[in-house]
Amino acid sequence: MSDLDVNVDLSASIFSGFMDRINALGGTIVELATNVDAMATAMARSNNRPRVIPMNASAVADANGNAVLAFDPCAQGRHWSVRRLAVGGAHWVDAAAGTALISVGSSQTQPDNAVPITEVRDYAPTMPLLAFYDSMKEMAIKGGQMLIVTINGGTSGQTYYGVAAVDDNPQ
């Protein structure tokens, strides 16, 4: 066997080992790329999950016992789903007189004005009110609209409070 034959066999052996390494690495790169794609998809899904926004509003009842609790409006290009709403006095045990009409509108309704029936979403004949909403009983708020609670027949001078939790989604 000549030196040339030994060099060719050695080169072939090195090349073969090198190709085995590349193939092994290639498999690892494919697996890595697949895992990276899966992670990117999972992250995109998690970024599309709604974030929960706590909201609150308060108002003092006028001489007639009426008040309007107007929550901050939903931003344009967003969509809110109300998940929880509580309305009443400062504490759960406070005797909060009156009824609560829950509506979704584009402007704050005055207590002595009639709320359009198309904006009414819920009604509480007594308070405190604790309501939960889901896909079966959804209360959707589009960009530019706001959650409004109108208190009628309350106690003059009493402060009424509303606390809500909404899911914030892109529209």
Confirm if 98 and 77 have CB atoms less than 8 A apart.
Answer: no
Q: Check residue 91 and give its pLDDT.
A: 85
pTM flag (> 0.85): no
pLDDT in tens, 48-102: 667 888 999 999 999 999 999 999 988 898 889 999 999 999 888 887 899 999 9
Mean pLDDT, to the nearest integer, of 105-122? 78
Query: Which H or E run includes 56?
Result: strand 51-60
- Of 27-41, 102-116, 129-143, the one with minimum mean pLDDT is 27-41
Query: Which H or E run includes 83?
Result: strand 78-88
Q: Check residue 13 and give its pLDDT.
A: 62
Confirm if 96 and 128 have CB atoms less than 8 A apart.
Answer: yes
Q: Report the candidate in 105, 165, 101 with the shortest Cα–Cα distance to residue 132.
A: 165
Q: Check residue 106 and give its pLDDT.
A: 80
Mean pLDDT, to the nearest integer, of 158-170? 92
Q: Check residue 50 and give its pLDDT.
A: 73
pLDDT-based confidence at residue 115 (cuts at 50, 70, 90): confident
- Of 28-32, 126-130, 137-141, 154-158, the one with minimum mean pLDDT is 28-32
Mean pLDDT for the chain overall: 80
Please state, in angstroms and rounded to a whole number, the distance separating the CA atoms of residues 98 and 24. 74
Q: Check residue 136 and give its pLDDT.
A: 75
